[in-house]
Amino acid sequence: MKSRILAGLAAGALCVVFSGCAKKPVAASTTPPTPRVEPRTTPAPSRQVTPTPPSTSASSTPASTPRMPDAATKARIQDLLDRIQDAYFDYNKHNLRPDAEATLQKDAQALGDIIRQYPDYKLTVQGHCDERGSEEYNLALGDKRAEQAKEYLATLGVPGNQLQIISYGKDKPVCEDHDEACWQRNRRAHITQEQ
């Protein structure tokens, strides 16, 4: 009977050993469980904290630079514009004559140096024509004259993005006589400050 008990215990031990091994997961054949990802919620705007930027020196802050000239600088700009005078054009032409180029060159570099310091400040280049021709034709011709003067001033150092153009055609003449001398005075490009 002892042998039967020993045989039963041996069989039971073997069952426990084999059944225990069968229940263990095999590392190579199982995949690790996928971690649960909780959805993120953004905090309410009132809870967000905006970091304060580090302080910078006054020379590197563009906000401290005035974007428009003061009254004294505007007076200096007007003085330069008065010296530059008008650029005159030939009849039915919009290309700059040599004398018009010379007129625009006068003090243009100094003018460009000043207005470049004030990026929001604009000058207006006006295009004018004499009284002959239709209103539509003269508006288009005045526009071309103003554009030619603007492009030339940009080549001289005046920032082109600070020059706007307008055509008055045959409106706003400086002379109202009906002769060539008067018509010549009206065929012009004129530079003004933004009002």
CA-based nearest residue to 162, from 193, 188, 139, 141? 193
* Amino acid in position 48: Q
CB atoms closer than 10 angstroms to residue 162: 18
Q: Binning pLDDT at 50, 70 and 90, where does residue 1 land?
A: low
Q: Who wins on pLDDT, 127 or 25? A: 127
Q: Which residue has the tokens 């009002």?
A: 195
- Distances in Å between the alpha carbon of 89 and those of 153, 157, 158? 16, 22, 21
Residue 19, pLDDT above cutoff 70: no
Give the percent of the chain with pLDDT over 70: 66
Domain boundaries, the chain: 67-193
Considering just the CA atoms, what is the radius of gyration of the chain in Å? 42
In the prediction, which pLDDT does 30 show? Answer: 52
Mean pLDDT of 145-153: 96
**What homologous superfamily is domain 67-193 in, according to CATH?**
OmpA-like domain (3.30.1330.60)
CA 5, chain centre distance (Å): 97
Render pLDDT for 64-109 as a digit per residue (tens, 0 to 9): 667 888 889 999 988 888 888 899 999 999 999 999 999 888 888 8
